[in-house]
Structure 1
Amino acid sequence: MGLLITKLRFLLYAQDQRKNYETFILKVEELHKEVKKEKDLKSVYKMRLERTQDYLKYCLQTAQDNGFLNLILNKKDNAQESSAASLSSPSPSSVIIQASTDPQTPPAVQQNTDLSALIEQAKRNGWYIDPHEIELHKKIAQGSTAEIYQATWRGLDVAVKCIFPDYFNLNDCGVNFFAQEVETLSRQRHSYVLQLMGACLDPPNHGWIITEFLNMTLKDWLHGPGKRKKERVTALPPFEDRLAKALEISQGMQYLHEHKPMIIHRDLKPSNIFLDDAFHVRVADFGHARFLTNEEKAFTGETGTYVYMAPEVIRSEPYDEKCDVYSFGVILNELLTGQYPYIETDHGPSKIALEVGEGKIRPALPKHEENIEDLIELIQLSWDEDPEYRPSFATITRGLKLIYNRLANSP
C-alpha cells in the first residue's frame, strides 16, 4: 500500500513538473517572439537613421554645389558682425543643420485651414451641424485619435467620428489637422468617395465628422468578418465582382489625384474602403490625406499601414501621389488572390516594412493564367520600386476598363 501511495505521489509530482515545464517553454517562446520583434524594429529604425544621415549629407552637398552654403555662412557672419562681439561663431553642427534644412525645405503641403473660416463656409453651404442634432448610438470602431459611432441625424442613419478631446488638448496642430480633414471631405463630389453629411466644428469636446453610414468594408467583403486568418472562412466573391471593385477604387482615387490641389490619401487599404447597400465602393478615412500642388513632393513622416505602405514612405523619403498607386497595387493583388498580403510568410509588420523598404519582398502574385496576365503586369507596375514607373490612376482606370470589358464579354 505504501509503495502504491509513493508511486501516486511520484506520478503527481511528475505531472506538476511537466506542466511547469510546458509553462516555461511557452514563456520562452513568447520571449523569443518579443526579442525577434524588437530586433525587427531595431533594424527598421537603423535603416531610417541611415537614410536620414544620407539625406542630410545629400542636402549639405547640394548646398555646397549650388553656393547656398556660402550664402548661409555669409549671412550668418553679417548677422554676427552687427550683434554683440561676445557672440561666438556658429558651430559646424549648426551649419550642417541649416544647410540641410533651409535650401531643401519641402513645400508647405499641409494647408493651414482656419477653423472660423471653415465654420462660416459650413453654415453658408448648409453642412454645419449642432451637436444636439446628433443622437449617438453604439460605438462601431475606435482608433488612436477618435471613436466612431452609429448615430441618427434628422432621422437618417449616419456615422460620427468623434475626435478625442485630448487630441486637441495635447496636440498644438490638432485643430488644424481636424479642420483640414473636414475641408478635404467637404470638397468631394464623387460616387466612389465617402460623402460628408456635415460636421460639428466645436473642438475639443465636439470635433465631430458626420458621414453617410456604411457598415461593410472591402476587407469584410473579401475576407469575411474578424481578424486576419491564414485560411479562408467565407466563399471568395466572383472574379468579375472583385475586378469591378478594383475599377471603382481606381476611379475614386483618380478623382482625388486630379483634384486641384491634388489630394493624396496616404493610408489606402481595404479597411478604409467601404461598400454601400449596392456593394459599390467608397474610399474613406482622410485622416492622413494631404494636399499637393503640381510638381510638389511631401516630406514624409510615417503614415499608413506597413503592409500597404510604399517603400519610399517606409524609408522616410520625400514622396508624391505614386505612394497611393503602390498601395492600390497591393490591394489589386489581394482582390485577385483572395489572400491577405504576405500571408504566405511568418513576418510581422516590422519585418515586412524592413524587407519592403530594402526592395526584397512583395506579396505573392496570383497564379499565372492566360486571361489575367495583363492584370499581373499592372500589379507589378503599380508596386514598382521606382515611383516614376508606376502608372497614374487615369492610366490604371483606362486599363482596368478594357480588361473588365474583355473578360465580361468573353465566352
Structure 2
Amino acid sequence: MNAATALRPTLRLIHCLQRERGASCALAGIQAADCINISKCNENVRLARAATNAAVKAFYQCDDVLHHTSSFNAASELFSVRELVDGAKKENPDNTCDEGKYEFIHRVVKDYSSLISRVIKLYVFDIIDSSRMDNDHRIESESLLKLLLSFVELKESLGVERASLTGIMALGIKNSNANYDEVGDNSIRDQAPKSDALSLPFIINDVVMVVENQHRILSELEQNSGVNITEQTQDYDYDDQAVALDPNLLRLIGDSIKLSEEMRNLQDRIRKDFDMTRFQQGMTMEAFWSDITLYMDKLHSIELLLLEELDQCNDKLDDFDLLSLEKKVKCNLQPQAADSLLDSSKSNPISENVDLKEWEINLYDVEFQRRIGRGAAGTTYLAKWTGQKVAVKCASMSELGLDGWRTELASLRQLHHPNIVRFLGAIYNPSPLTYCLVLEYCEEDLSNRLTKATPAGFILKVAHDIASGLFYLHQKCIIHRDIKPGNCLIQGNINAHYTAKLTDFGLAATIQNSTKGQELTAETGTYRYMSPQIIRHEPYDFSADVYSFALLMWELITRETPFEPLGQIEAAAASAIEHNRPPFPPGISLALKAVIERCWVDRPDDRMTVPSIIEWLENATNHLAKESIVWLDHPYGHAVYKTQKGVHASAKERRKKTTLLRNALFGKKKRNDTFDRMG
C-alpha cells in the first residue's frame, strides 16, 4: 500500500473538517447571541460543508483508504454533528443562560474534535503504522514521517483553539441591531460577554491544555527538523545529527511554523491570565480568524509538500516499523469512541496500575486563573477548586512529563506532613489529553523569595522546615533527588507566620528502586545541586539529598546560585571531577560553615544525617554567637561571586573539561541543550 497516496485525501478531509468546525462554532455562537442577521455566517458554514462533502467523496474513492476501512463511518458521524449544530435553536430556544451557551459551543467543539481525532487515528497514524519501507531509504523516510506526524498534531491543536475562541468571540456579539455582514466584520467590534473567563471552565480549560500542548509539539518539530523554529530569527541553526533532509526543505519548514507576532501575543494572553475580555476587546473576530487560518493553511501546504518528498524518497513503502518513531497506534475503535488523538499516540499512565479512586478531580471543576510556573516536566497554574485557591501542575506530553506525573502521584498520595506540599487530587481527562496534580497553593517558591528582603530568623526557620520534610521523606524510604530553592515553597505571611514546604516529587524514588550502581540519566535532578555520586554514576543513597540540602543552605546565606559563573555541565564537572565547592562569604560563623561542609563532603558516609542536621538547627542559638545570628539575619544575604574575580578556570579549560565529562556521561552525540534544560 502506498501510504502517501492514501494520506493525501485523508489530510484534505481533515483540513476541510477543521475549517467546518471553526465556521460551525462561529454559527453556534452567533445563534446563541441572538444576532438578527446571520446570513453571511450561514453562508460560510454552507461553503465549508460543501468543501467537506467533496473531500469525503474523494476520501472514500481512494482505493488505499477503502483497503483500510474499519467499522467507523466518517460520513455518518459528520451528519450527526451537523444535526447538533443545526438544532441549536431547538435545544436552547430562550438563550437566557450564558453558561448554557458556552456549554453548547463546547459540545460542538468536542463532537467535531472527536470525529477528526478518529480520522487521524485510523487513517493517518494507523496507515503509516501498517506501512514499511526498505532500508535504503529508512533514514530520510523516517525523518519525513516524524515531521508529518508532528504537523498533523500541531494543526489539529490549532484547529481546536480556532474553533473554541471563534465560538467565544461570536457569542460576545450581543448587539441585536448589528448588521452582521460577515464573520468578523470590522464594523462590528466583539463585545465581551457579561461573565468573565472563570465562568467558562469547559472552553477555557480545553484551550489552556491545547495551547500548552502546542509547545510540546513545536519542541518535537524542532527536534525532528533540526531547525530552531521557536525563536523569532531568520538565522537557522541546523543540527546535522537530527535529520537527513534537504536544508532548503528545512528552511521552508522553519518559515512556515514560526508564529506571527500577533499570534504569539494572542497565545500569551490566553495562556498566562486567560483574560477573555481583553482578548475580545483587543481583536476582531475577522482578524483572529484570518491570522490563525492563514497559519493553518501554511501548515497544510507543508503537509502536502512532505508527502511529495515522501513519494520521491520511496515510491513503494514496504514494511516500515513505526515503533522506531514511538508513535505506535493500535485502533480497535467503536464508532461511539471519543478518545483524543494523543490518548492513543502516547503512553497512558492510567493504564499502568495508577488508580485515582478517591483522588480524581474533574478537569471542568477547576477554574484556571493564570500561569505561575513552567519547566521541562510541565506547567503550573493558579486555579480555584471548591472555592479555594489551588496550584494545578499539568504534565507535559512527553516521557519526562508523564513519568514525573505518575511518580509524583504515587509519592504524594502517601505523604502527609506540614513541610510537604499537600496533595488534593489528580486530573485525568482524555480529550484534550490532560494529566494534572492539584496541590495546595503556596504564595511563592524559595528561589523567588531569595531575590527579596527576608525577615530575621528566615534562614534557620526555612532550613529547619526543609530538613524536617526531608527527614519525613527518608522515613518513608523516599529520596527526593531534586532539592533546590525552586522546589521549596513558602506558605503564609513572610512577616508573620509562614512555613517552608518541599514540592516536586517527579524525580523521587524509593530506596529499593534506587539500585546501587545504577547509571542515572540527565533528568535525575539538577546538576548544580546534584550529588557527585549521581553525576559520576556511582552508588548513592539518602546522603545524596543531604548534599543538595547543603547547597540549599549555602544559597540561603549568599542569595546566589551555586557555581553561578559556570554553566550546568561545567558546574557538574567542578563538583564531581575537581571536587570543588562554592566559596563561603567572609564573616560566616565557623560552626555554621563546618555544618555545611560536613553535609557536602565528597564521601557520602562522612556526611551528616538529617536527624543530626535538625538537632543542630534546633539548637542553633547555642552554637552561634549573637553577632553571628545578626550577620545571618541580613535581609539580602552575603554575596560571594559578585565580589570575586578570576576564581574560575579559563574559558578554554572549562570547555575542555566540559567536553570530557559530557562524553564520559552521555557520549559524543548528546546535544548541549540536554544540560541547559535542567536549569
- TM-score normalised to the size of structure 1? 0.61
2:380 counterpart (142, 148, 162):
148
Deviation at 1:114, TM superposition (A): 7.0
2:415 counterpart (161, 183, 188):
188
> Quick one: which amino acid aligns to residue 188 of structure 1?
L
Deviation at 1:408, TM superposition (A): 9.5
2:530 counterpart (298, 309, 312):
309
* CA pair 175-298 structure 1, distance change in 2 beyond 3 A: farther
User: Which secondary structure does the structure 2 equivalent of 1:280 belong to?
Assistant: strand
CA distance in 2, matches of 1:323, 1:199: 29
Say if 2:377 and 2:404, in contact at 8 Å, map to a contact too. Answer: no
Say if 1:151 and 1:160, in contact at 8 Å, map to a contact too. Answer: yes
CA distance in 1, matches of 2:416, 2:625: 29
Deviation at 1:285, TM superposition (A): 0.6
Deviation at 1:385, TM superposition (A): 0.7
* CA pair 384-180 structure 1, distance change in 2 beyond 3 A: same
CA distance in 1, matches of 2:536, 2:403: 26
1:216 counterpart (444, 450, 467):
444
What residue number does 2:505 align with?
286
* CA pair 285-175 structure 1, distance change in 2 beyond 3 A: closer
* CA pair 176-285 structure 1, distance change in 2 beyond 3 A: closer
* CA pair 247-206 structure 1, distance change in 2 beyond 3 A: same
Say if 1:216 and 1:274, in contact at 8 Å, map to a contact too. Answer: yes
CA distance in 1, matches of 2:433, 2:479: 28
> Quick one: which amino acid aligns to residue 178 of structure 1?
W
What residue number does 2:602 align with?
385
1:201 counterpart (428, 445, 452):
428
CA distance in 2, matches of 1:141, 1:298: 34
Say if 1:115 and 1:175, in contact at 8 Å, map to a contact too. Answer: no
What residue number does 1:161 align with?
393
CA distance in 1, matches of 2:551, 2:401: 31
Say if 1:159 and 1:212, in contact at 8 Å, map to a contact too. Answer: yes
Structure number with higher relative contact order (C-alpha < 8 Å, ≥ 6 residues apart): 1
User: Which secondary structure does the structure 2 equivalent of 1:400 belong to?
Assistant: helix
Deviation at 1:221, TM superposition (A): 1.4
What residue number does 2:548 align with?
327
> Quick one: which amino acid aligns to residue 132 of structure 1?
Y
What residue number does 2:483 align with?
268
* CA pair 398-114 structure 1, distance change in 2 beyond 3 A: farther
What residue number does 1:31 align with?
none
Say if 1:254 and 1:394, in contact at 8 Å, map to a contact too. Answer: yes
What residue number does 2:473 align with?
256
What residue number does 1:77 align with?
none
User: Which secondary structure does the structure 2 equivalent of 1:223 belong to?
Assistant: coil
CA distance in 1, matches of 2:517, 2:429: 29
Deviation at 1:407, TM superposition (A): 5.0
* CA pair 313-176 structure 1, distance change in 2 beyond 3 A: closer
Say if 2:546 and 2:609, in contact at 8 Å, map to a contact too. Answer: yes
The C-alpha deviation readout for 1:77-122, integer Å capped at 9, x for no partner, is: xxxxxxxxxxxxxxxxxxxxxxxxxxxxxxxxxxxx9757543xx4
Give the superposed CA RMSD: 2.7
> Quick one: which amino acid aligns to residue 541 of structure 2?
D
Say if 1:366 and 1:376, in contact at 8 Å, map to a contact too. Answer: no
Say if 2:530 and 2:548, in contact at 8 Å, map to a contact too. Answer: yes
Say if 1:264 and 1:321, in contact at 8 Å, map to a contact too. Answer: yes
The C-alpha deviation readout for 1:285-324, integer Å capped at 9, x for no partner, is: 1111111139953722222222111111122223211111
CA distance in 2, matches of 1:408, 1:355: 33
**Given the alignment of the two structures, is residue 360 of structure 1 paired with residue 579 of structure 2, yes or no?**
yes
> Quick one: which amino acid aligns to residue 516 of structure 2?
K
User: Which secondary structure does the structure 2 equivalent of 1:285 belong to?
Assistant: coil
* CA pair 193-404 structure 1, distance change in 2 beyond 3 A: farther
CA distance in 2, matches of 1:257, 1:210: 24
What residue number does 2:62 align with?
none
User: Which secondary structure does the structure 1 equivalent of 2:457 belong to?
Assistant: helix
Deviation at 1:151, TM superposition (A): 0.8
The C-alpha deviation readout for 1:133-170, integer Å capped at 9, x for no partner, is: 11112122222231111111111111111113x32xxx
Q: How many residues align?
A: 273
User: Which secondary structure does the structure 1 equivalent of 2:591 belong to?
Assistant: helix
Percent identity, aligned pairs only, is: 32
What residue number does 2:180 align with?
none
* CA pair 319-196 structure 1, distance change in 2 beyond 3 A: same
Give ranges in structure 2 of 5+ residues lacking alignment.
1-348, 631-679
* CA pair 116-331 structure 1, distance change in 2 beyond 3 A: closer
- TM-score normalised to the size of structure 2? 0.38
CA distance in 1, matches of 2:625, 2:579: 36
Say if 1:301 and 1:313, in contact at 8 Å, map to a contact too. Answer: no
CA distance in 1, matches of 2:457, 2:409: 34
Say if 1:292 and 1:298, in contact at 8 Å, map to a contact too. Answer: no
What residue number does 2:216 align with?
none
What residue number does 1:139 align with?
371
Deviation at 1:374, TM superposition (A): 1.9
Which range is displaced more, 240-249 or 288-297?
A: 288-297
CA distance in 2, matches of 1:404, 1:256: 26
Deviation at 1:189, TM superposition (A): 0.7
CA distance in 1, matches of 2:486, 2:605: 27
CA distance in 2, matches of 1:329, 1:146: 27
* CA pair 153-294 structure 1, distance change in 2 beyond 3 A: closer
Give ranges in structure 1 of 5+ residues lacking alignment.
1-112, 225-234
